């Protein structure tokens, strides 16, 4: 029915836009799909039509697997129970070296930092958009990553001591911010892995860690978008 079709489109969009909505998609979307398939009278189809239907369905599924799923799905993963140890290397570095905030972080890594550092450290933002006013993103969070002057103003206001950033951030402002930070002499990169990068402010408090762990900026490659 038209109502089911519209509802399916809605929950599909919700599931695509945020991981938290996967359960909504599963609850409604999969049920609607099952009902629609059940309503198909396959007995009326000739053998050739059945083959065409099956081939098209398999083709759509194959395209979904090949072109829609993010490349991270294909990374080698270890079998076992619990959290992958590779996800904890950045936070272990932060805690083992007694690093301190205030922390500036990007949207994608906020929940990760809350899980491991709260209540000792507070995050600047996390991936709960409903918890922040729209103006925070449009007037502060995005502009401070795009404009060096605004970044310095916000930094002066909050007194950031560390930047803990999800380095696979695909937003234009996130990419621009990382490029600027690598080139910023007031900040030193001290840790990087496949997911995260940590910068420390060049101050007296951080000098022992910076002297021990500072990464040469030549190791970072800046790739221009096509």
- Averaged over 45-52, what is the pLDDT? 64
Q: What is the pLDDT averaged over residues 150-162?
A: 93
Question: For the chain, what are the domain ranges?
Answer: 2-69, 85-219
Q: What percent of the chain has pLDDT over 70?
A: 67
Average pLDDT over residues 35-58: 64
Q: How would residue 46 be classed by pLDDT, with cut points 50, 70 and 90?
A: low
Q: What confidence score (pLDDT) does residue 72 get? A: 53
pLDDT of the residue at 109: 86
pLDDT digits (tens, 9 = 90+) for 2-36: 676 677 677 777 776 666 677 776 766 667 777 66
pLDDT computed for residue 226 by the predictor: 46
Structure-block tokens of residue 155 = 């930094």
What are the φ and ψ backbone dihedral angles of 225, each rounded to 5 degrees? -70, 145
Tell me, what's the pLDDT at 117? 86
What's 9-68 look like in SS3?
A: HHHHHHHHHCHHHHHHHHHHHHHHHHHHHHHCCHHHCCHHHHHHHHHHHHHHHHHHHHHH
On average, the pLDDT of the chain sits at 79
Residue 183 has pLDDT above 80, yes or no: yes
* pLDDT given at position 175: 87
Measured between alpha carbons, how far is 51 from 75 in angstroms, rounded to an integer?
34
Question: Is residue 208's pLDDT more than 70?
Answer: yes
Q: Of 5-14, 105-114, 118-127, where does mean pLDDT reach its minimum?
A: 5-14
Once rounded to an integer, what is the mean pLDDT over residues 66-83? 56
Tell me what the mean pLDDT of segment 213-222 comes to: 81
What pLDDT score was predicted for residue 54? 63
In SS3 terms, 121-184 reads as CCCCCCCCHHHCCHHHHHHHHHHHHHCHHHHHHHHHHHCCCEEEEECCCCCHHHHHHHHHHHCC
């Amino acid at each position: 029915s038209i109502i089911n079709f519209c509802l399916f489109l809605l929950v599909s969009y919700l599931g695509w836009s945020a991981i938290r909505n996967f359960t909504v998609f599963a609850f409604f979307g999969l049920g609607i799909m099952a009902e629609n398939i059940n309503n198909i009278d396959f007995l009326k189809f000739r053998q050739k039509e059945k083959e065409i239907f099956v081939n098209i369905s398999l083709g759509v599924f194959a395209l979904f697997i090949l072109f829609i799923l993010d490349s991270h799905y294909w990374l080698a993963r270890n079998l076992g129970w619990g959290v992958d140890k590779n996800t904890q290397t950045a936070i272990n570095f932060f805690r083992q070296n007694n690093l301190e905030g205030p922390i500036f972080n990007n949207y994608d890594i906020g929940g990760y930092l809350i899980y491991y550092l709260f209540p000792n450290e507070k995050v600047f933002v996390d991936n709960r958009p409903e918890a922040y006013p729209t103006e925070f993103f449009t007037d502060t969070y995005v502009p401070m990553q795009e404009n060096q002057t605004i970044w310095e103003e916000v930094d002066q206001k909050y007194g950031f001591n560390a930047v803990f950033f999800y380095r696979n951030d695909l937003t234009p402002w996130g990419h621009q911010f990382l490029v600027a930070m690598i080139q910023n002499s007031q900040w030193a990169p001290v840790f990087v892995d496949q997911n995260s990068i940590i910068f420390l402010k060049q101050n007296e408090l951080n000098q022992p860690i910076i002297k021990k762990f500072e990464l040469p900026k030549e190791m970072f490659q800046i790739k221009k978008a096509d």
